[in-house]
Structure 1
Amino acid sequence: MMAQPLQGVRVLELTDGFGDTAGRFLADLGADVVRVELPGGSASRTAEPIRNGVSIPFALRNANKRGVVLDLDTDADRERLRYLARRSDILLESFAPGYLAARGVGAADLREINPALVAVSITGFGQDGPYRDWATTEQVLYALSGVLSRSGEPGERPLLPPNGLIDESVGVHTAWSALLAYFDRLHTGRGQLVDISAFEVIVHGFDPGFGVQGSAAAGRSEDFPRGRPDAANFYPVYRCGDGQVRICLLAKRQWRGMFEWLGEPEEFADPKYDTIPARFAASDRLNPLIEQLFSTYTRDELVVEGAARGIPIGGLNTVSEVLTTEHFTASGTFVDAEIAPGLTARIPSGYAKIDRERAGFHTRAPELGEHNVAVFSDSSEEARESNTAPPRKPGVRPFEGLRVLDMGVVVFGAELGRQFADNGADVIKIENSNFPDGLRQSKRGAALAASVAWGHRNRRSLGLNLRSPEGIRIFKRLVAEADIVLANFKPGTLASMGLSYDELAAINPRIIVSESSAFGSVGPWNKRLGYGPLVRAACGVSALWRYSDSADGLCDGSTVYPDHIAGQVTATTILATLIDRLRTGRGAAIEVAQADTAIMMLGNQLVAEHLEPGSISAPGNSDPYSAPSGVYPCAGEDEWCVVTVRDDTDWPRVCGVLGRPDLVDDPRFATTERRIAHRVEADEVLASWLAVHTPTEAMESLQTAGVPSGAMIRLPELLTDPQLVARGAYTELEHELLPTPLPTAKQVAHFATLPEWPLRRAPLAGEQTREICESVIGLNRVEIDSLVRDGVLQPPADDPALLQVSPAV
């Protein structure tokens, strides 16, 4: 049996493009998703890559759903849609703003007949603002979100990241937002409208410039001069005996292990090389030494030797190698399944495990109208959920009353815990001063790291030494009063501490325990060090994120993907189990591997490669399925615009903007296939026009004509982008230990009744230790003082028990 915490939840889906992946994630988690298509079928049924006549994106993103066809231009089928809406809990729709409303079946109309309906709209830019009606593609969103500006090699044109990452990221955030509103509805009895802009999801949730991020920096203008950042040596890649490996030398001890392995060369004996900046500055001398050493090893040998020396090393896998990697086979990351009638393929199995069972693929995507008879002949009364949620009035934060014990660290841990803290949970961050969270060590000259201010806001901090028996006893007392435990240690760490799910569930059967790691708890890589760059390399992301298959350089050095989105995947899975707990009264054990997140998001390329070996390679900036398309230079220094001519409808529009009507019927360009065959000439036509226009001028002219296009903007420009300003995307976060306020996300999705996130300052390490011990587990002052002196409790340095002076002897 698949893990299905959303059983009994009914989702009505009217999406085509953005939103498909949200319905798939909800279906993986057990929801009954009914996909509605218009006559002739969704455009996404022909989305590339196509193998054996089957659209791989459609097959993957619509698995586990039922499908019906409705003609919304007829009264009869509009009434059938209303019938489905009355029986549904969640509506997902991605039509252009106003399309459904003009037919009397818009989100507001459907909520009138079912006030409990959570109606979620997913569009490129949202339901309002100056970009509302603009066309978009993944490539355009990479440009406008600031991601493109820091991708590529210095002196080269910016490089588009791989396709698929944005669609899946938008889907994950949509699933989270839908369940958040649905969880609220279980307490209030009322649904609401939710407005999701794919643009804002990527700005705030993919790899945010103004959020917990590490190498992406804080979006300050001085960090982003003209040209791409020189990021290749953040996580350098070296050739070895049978390919390439990536290395992450972050901690001093890791560098010392590498220094010893190199034979302790005198030129690098200076202690200054214990620091990352010094090694980065000397990379022209250091890299050849490492590459010469590595040349005599295979990838697997280097990984093993690196682990023995405490050096994080990972092999660079191509897409074809990912499909046959022993670890992913052993871990259940892939499953061989029928994805269309008569077509079997190796596909990513799903994002998460719940109680050791994969929440993932179980049935193929529906044929057009396959379930019309079954869906509309069902005359049974809908079985509503057994709702034991405490009632409350609308407008309260959805997680008020929940308590979360947060042992998560670095980017993933901060992003996961923040989802619950921002939405009202009492999130208690467990901190050990002897082993501080890596974010607290990245201050860049300030008294507090910006990433701590962003990622730890709205939390309380408990200083607790979990390496002591008494510390474990205190933690278990907290578990008795908690709802969720979060951790992202190596697999087995909680169990070794006596804090496994089974042990914690014996204390509190309602507890939900989430454990996350780089590669999961099953398989030969389960103990590997879990840095994002190594995950990207192992899963095929890095191999596709370069200018071509023959290019040595990888261009993903300035991103922390997949940390943020893996945190969002985990939060969504936890929320599904919280919903299930209202019905069953039981908690659950959740496991998410960051590698599984990356592989799910590369599903299109992986499945296409499985069905046609050798067909997938690094595309660079050229979309292999459309032309002209790519990243084009514009007037000015290092100014660029992304344009995608999707089909034969876009091409005449482009010719109109360029003032070249003679090219509409030019035999070289008359069809998509012909334009792809003459890509160089088609690109030159567009490039010559763009070269004399600024990116903004070009974007606005093309968008007015309905052609997807986006100026490449740098992170500081996000703060003044007209669409983001109109939508109130940013506010300011203050902290007394920061020199100036930080720009920060005000919200991602726009909810009709849920309040905006609060902005309570991030705590100092251990700041609320006394408060928590007194109010949650009832320790008195004498007990707390004793535990502080023994080092079990770790409040800030000015705590009275630490300031007591021992009497002279």
Structure 2
Amino acid sequence: MANPRRPLAGIVIVDAVAGPLAPATRYLAELGADVVRIETPKTGRSAREQLKDAAANNGKTLQVIDYAQPRDREKLGRLIESADALIMDAHHALSGQPGFIAADLSRRYPQKLVVACSDFGQGNSCSKWQATDAVLHALTGELSRSGIAGQAPLLPPGELAVQCSAVQLAYVVLTGLVQRAQTGTGDLIDYSMLDGAMQALDPGYGISGSATMGKPAHLLSTDRPPRGFLYPIIRCADGHVRICLLAARQWRGMFEWMGRPEEFASPEFEKMNARFKSPTLIPAISAFFADKTGDELEAGAKTYGVPLSALLDGSEAVAAKHFKDRQTFAPAKLRDGTEISLPNGVLELDGQRMAAGIQVAAEPVSMSPPPVPGLPLSGLKVLDLGVIVVGGEQGRLLADLGADVVKIESRAFPDGTRQSDGALGISTSFAAGHRNKRSLGLNLRSDEGKAIFERLVAKADVILTNFKPGTMESLGLGYDHLQGIKPDIILVESSAFGPTGPWAKRMGYGPLVRAATGLTTQWRYRDDPESYSDSVTIYPDHVGGRISILGVLALLLDRKRSGTGGRICSSQAEIVLAHQGWQIAAAQSGLVDPLEPQDVPWGVFPTAGEDEWCAITVRDEADWSKLCQLLPKLDTGMARSDRLAHRKAIEAELIVWLQKRTATQAMETLQQAGIPAGRMNRIADLPEFAAYRERGTFRMETHPHLPDAFFSEAVIAKSERLAPPPTRPAPLAGEHSAEVMEEWLGIGSTEIDTLAQNGVIEPLSVDIETAIRELKGRSHE
């Protein structure tokens, strides 16, 4: 296509990231930034290293630098001087080079964005520690929720923690670039891979799914969930399927599909809790599914409006017609010429996939300064139609940066995360996920409501949605219509499987996305094929929200220059597949076995105390030598092949050592020796864990309609110029209807009253004092 649009065109980023965060700038390269990757001369890299390198750095420009050569050092200096941003991490050879210290470079070039990345951040008691994906899962609380009750915690498959942290880093970098374009001044950001993994994978103090009924994660059981808990996986004639019955209308569809069995005819079954408690419902559904194939069940589910997906393994998912039709993967080559396939970008802009390797020339980017210093999106107007987790997260990310985010709500179709024990529809989960927003109750099914929405669009900058593709068009509010009202409007459409392809109209929740992409079949104990263990995980919702916001921030940078907005589409399923990019390439090419452990011990091991565990990763010969110093019975000279052959004996010796120590003692001893290790934190442990506490990662917040204060995320990243997120409490449904109508549209109280009487505007409809008395009464019971 001639002159393809790339919103980050003209932005130059020097990438000196050698560790697992390297994919962060690949997302920016896909959006058109010129990402120049700095490497030292290398030879003899393994096939595994080449595959990881290809997946992380696809679309970047390579610049080989020999620091011992004065000419190369001068060349690097000129490159940094001409760039807009420098991203460097502690694993890279540039780190610590004289003249190339992050803080010094920031002082020397105050107009540049400098991001210094490390495993645990700078200036805290864990700063010298080392992290791996397993350690991040342990320390973020994700590990404590993965597995089956009564069994050992189970490390999630792949490298989800570091992949999610890389996306958070991309979000932080783009935020810094927006602020730089507004002010002409750069920033020095101290980025912690641990913080990023906690924020973007499955934050314990963030918004959670509707199945938790609004309960904060730290109040849930400290054990892993029981087998089959939530989103059950059920045998069918040719495999397994997963169902996701959340809303009452979905249950009604299931009830009709089963032939209206009298046993489940009670209206009580429209309540999620009643369905969870029923000892006979899942057996009845299992009997109904038993003689039907996965294809037949998917077809029936579509007819009756039941969220369902066949459970695919990795190879089945990659080969699915949906992903082939959407060109989810594209041909690529390793540096030695070996042909592989890699993910083909995770965003679409105006129907065009943002694939790696396409760059166009563009003028420098500039924007007007924000009304509130430190909040780069202050003054931005956002209409938030998003629901559940990914929808809530998209708006919250913009609101935390100062945007005026108005959540559009309707009593007829309430947001699933409004579920709580009280009439106010406020829980700690909702309070965390919708802070800094306002709420407008608006009936979009009425002509008058639609007309009001169109007037709001004329004032807006961004519209956020995460409906099934075609929903906005069915309301008469498709992108072409919206663009006719506001030519530079930015529309986000996040969906489970993308806007096109055979699965586009499928109902999509995170559990179904994981089932359809092969992740669920990997997330189980190796000796138990039906031990599916991802039931309480909320992935890829949080990271999916961030991917969409990358598109928004990129378009905001480009809008002043181009005069146009754009339609950003993302597929949660393609995000999951992109996070497995090198493993998929490995499996398809046969170059390496992505599941083969690189060394031993590697995994989660019991320590002293009841249900206490420590994640440990021995990565290489250096780590093995360090471990042998702690455990003298181990043989330093044992070859890797022998270690793999005697893995059980080696790990048994380690467990003897661990069971004399608490998880904290074991972690500290191993980390001081230079071996990556992390105790299994539960959610309640996070605020007091040293790295979080010393960095101020969390803060206490209050809500006027919640009885207790609660923890929430305090910072986007440690920055010299970004302000902390504001502290406006999450809204009640329709709480700001009159306020928004007056501020955005100048509509007075008389007209608002008339619109409310006609059911067009939905103001706050609950008696707050009565609801609070009821809530307090329950809290004393």
**1:233 aligned onto 2:261:** no
Residues 487-525 of structure 1: per-residue CA shift (max 9 Å, x gap): 111101111222111111112111111111111111111
- Alpha-carbon spacing, 1:55–1:96, altered in 2? closer, same or farther (3 Å): closer
**1:684 aligned onto 2:652:** yes
Deviation (angstroms), 1:533: 0.4
Residues 458-489 of structure 1: per-residue CA shift (max 9 Å, x gap): 11111111111111111111111111111111
Instruction: Tell me how far apart the structure 2 counterparts of residues 116 and 31 of structure 1 sit (CA, whole Å).
Output: 18
- Alpha-carbon spacing, 1:343–1:714, altered in 2? closer, same or farther (3 Å): same
- Alpha-carbon contact 1:187-1:391 (below 8 Å) kept: yes
Letter in structure 2 aligned against 1:70: I
**1:776 aligned onto 2:749:** no
Instruction: Tell me how far apart the structure 1 counterparts of residues 367 and 687 of structure 2 sit (CA, whole Å).
Output: 39
Which residue matches 2:408?
Answer: 430
Residues 420-473 of structure 1: per-residue CA shift (max 9 Å, x gap): 101011111111122111111244798622222111111111111111111111
Deviation (angstroms), 1:258: 2.7
Provide the secondary structure at the position in 1 that maps to 2:36: strand
- Alpha-carbon contact 1:303-1:313 (below 8 Å) kept: yes
Instruction: Tell me how far apart the structure 2 counterparts of residues 231 and 104 of structure 1 sit (CA, whole Å).
Output: 56
Which residue matches 2:20?
Answer: 18
Which residue matches 2:174?
Answer: 179
2:642 pairs with 671, 674, 694, which one?
A: 674
Provide the secondary structure at the position in 2 that maps to 1:663: coil
Which residue matches 1:663?
Answer: 635
**1:588 aligned onto 2:566:** yes
- Alpha-carbon contact 2:700-2:709 (below 8 Å) kept: yes
Deviation (angstroms), 1:394: 9.0
Instruction: Tell me how far apart the structure 1 counterparts of residues 198 and 451 of structure 2 sit (CA, whole Å).
Output: 42
Deviation (angstroms), 1:611: 1.3
Deviation (angstroms), 1:317: 0.9
Residues 659-694 of structure 1: per-residue CA shift (max 9 Å, x gap): 34x6112xxxx2333322322222222222112211
Which residue matches 2:188?
Answer: 193
Letter in structure 1 aligned against 2:686: L
Deviation (angstroms), 1:104: 2.0
Residues 532-574 of structure 1: per-residue CA shift (max 9 Å, x gap): 1000100111111111285112100011101000001101111
Structure 1 residues 313-332: aligned runs within 5 Å: 313-332=308-327
Instruction: Tell me how far apart the structure 2 counterparts of residues 162 and 543 of structure 1 sit (CA, whole Å).
Output: 10
Which residue matches 2:50?
Answer: 55
Of 71-80 and 643-652, more deviation after overlay is shown by 71-80
Provide the secondary structure at the position in 2 that maps to 1:429: strand
Residues 153-182 of structure 1: per-residue CA shift (max 9 Å, x gap): 111100000122122211111111111111
Letter in structure 1 aligned against 2:539: Y
**1:27 aligned onto 2:38:** no
Instruction: Tell me how far apart the structure 2 counterparts of residues 391 and 736 of structure 1 sit (CA, whole Å).
Output: 33
Which residue matches 1:653?
Answer: 626
Instruction: Tell me how far apart the structure 2 counterparts of residues 134 and 757 of structure 1 sit (CA, whole Å).
Output: 28
Instruction: Tell me how far apart the structure 1 counterparts of residues 745 and 669 of structure 2 sit (CA, whole Å).
Output: 63
2:221 pairs with 203, 221, 224, which one?
A: 224
Deviation (angstroms), 1:253: 2.9
Instruction: Tell me how far apart the structure 2 counterparts of residues 220 and 353 of structure 1 sit (CA, whole Å).
Output: 34
Which residue matches 2:774?
Answer: none
**1:334 aligned onto 2:329:** yes
Which residue matches 1:721?
Answer: 689
**1:246 aligned onto 2:247:** no
**1:452 aligned onto 2:449:** no
- Alpha-carbon contact 1:626-1:645 (below 8 Å) kept: yes
- Alpha-carbon contact 1:85-1:114 (below 8 Å) kept: no
Deviation (angstroms), 1:66: 1.1
Deviation (angstroms), 1:255: 2.5
2:679 pairs with 711, 717, 722, which one?
A: 711
**1:748 aligned onto 2:721:** no
Instruction: Tell me how far apart the structure 2 counterparts of residues 567 and 83 of structure 1 sit (CA, whole Å).
Output: 36
- Alpha-carbon contact 1:734-1:761 (below 8 Å) kept: yes
Which residue matches 1:640?
Answer: 613
Provide the secondary structure at the position in 1 that maps to 2:467: coil
1:257 pairs with 253, 256, 261, which one?
A: 253
Deviation (angstroms), 1:388: 4.4
- Alpha-carbon contact 1:421-1:427 (below 8 Å) kept: yes
Residues 284-328 of structure 1: per-residue CA shift (max 9 Å, x gap): x33333222212111111011112122111011101101210111
> Runs (4+) of structure 1 moved beyond 6 Å?
none
- Alpha-carbon spacing, 1:238–1:482, altered in 2? closer, same or farther (3 Å): same
2:73 pairs with 69, 72, 78, which one?
A: 78
Provide the secondary structure at the position in 2 that maps to 1:794: coil
**1:631 aligned onto 2:627:** no
Unaligned 5+ runs, structure 1: 365-381, 800-809
Deviation (angstroms), 1:342: 2.8
Which residue matches 2:338?
Answer: 343
Instruction: Tell me how far apart the structure 2 counterparts of residues 789 and 298 of structure 1 sit (CA, whole Å).
Output: 50
Structure 1 residues 349-364: aligned runs within 5 Å: 349-362=344-357
Structure 1 residues 50-449: aligned runs within 5 Å: 50=47, 55-95=50-90, 100-101=95-96, 103-214=98-209, 219=216, 222-225=219-222, 227-230=223-226, 232-283=228-279, 285-362=280-357, 385-391=363-369, 395-443=373-421, 448-449=426-427
Provide the secondary structure at the position in 1 that maps to 2:189: strand
- Alpha-carbon spacing, 1:269–1:490, altered in 2? closer, same or farther (3 Å): same
2:544 pairs with 563, 566, 574, which one?
A: 566
Residues 214-266 of structure 1: per-residue CA shift (max 9 Å, x gap): 257755655233x3122623011011121111011112232233334444445
Deviation (angstroms), 1:393: 8.9
Residues 583-628 of structure 1: per-residue CA shift (max 9 Å, x gap): 1111111101111111111112222121129956xx5xxx622211
Which residue matches 2:775?
Answer: none
Of 117-126 and 443-452, more deviation after overlay is shown by 443-452
**1:732 aligned onto 2:695:** no
Instruction: Tell me how far apart the structure 1 counterparts of residues 53 and 640 of structure 2 sit (CA, whole Å).
Output: 20
- Alpha-carbon contact 2:490-2:566 (below 8 Å) kept: yes
- Alpha-carbon contact 2:432-2:730 (below 8 Å) kept: yes
- Alpha-carbon contact 2:602-2:617 (below 8 Å) kept: yes
Which residue matches 2:776?
Answer: none
- Alpha-carbon spacing, 1:230–1:445, altered in 2? closer, same or farther (3 Å): farther
- Alpha-carbon spacing, 1:534–1:447, altered in 2? closer, same or farther (3 Å): closer
Instruction: Tell me how far apart the structure 2 counterparts of residues 730 and 605 of structure 1 sit (CA, whole Å).
Output: 34
Of 722-731 and 500-509, more deviation after overlay is shown by 500-509
Which residue matches 2:583?
Answer: 605
Of 528-537 and 343-352, more deviation after overlay is shown by 343-352
Of 255-264 and 55-64, more deviation after overlay is shown by 255-264
Which residue matches 2:777?
Answer: none
Residues 189-235 of structure 1: per-residue CA shift (max 9 Å, x gap): 1101111111111222210111101257755655233x312262301
Provide the secondary structure at the position in 1 that maps to 2:306: coil
Instruction: Tell me how far apart the structure 2 counterparts of residues 391 and 102 of structure 1 sit (CA, whole Å).
Output: 35
Aligned-residue identity in percent: 42
- Alpha-carbon contact 2:701-2:711 (below 8 Å) kept: yes
- Alpha-carbon spacing, 1:213–1:798, altered in 2? closer, same or farther (3 Å): closer
Instruction: Tell me how far apart the structure 2 counterparts of residues 634 and 524 of structure 1 sit (CA, whole Å).
Output: 49
Instruction: Tell me how far apart the structure 2 counterparts of residues 120 and 651 of structure 1 sit (CA, whole Å).
Output: 32
Q: TM-score, normalised by structure 2?
A: 0.93
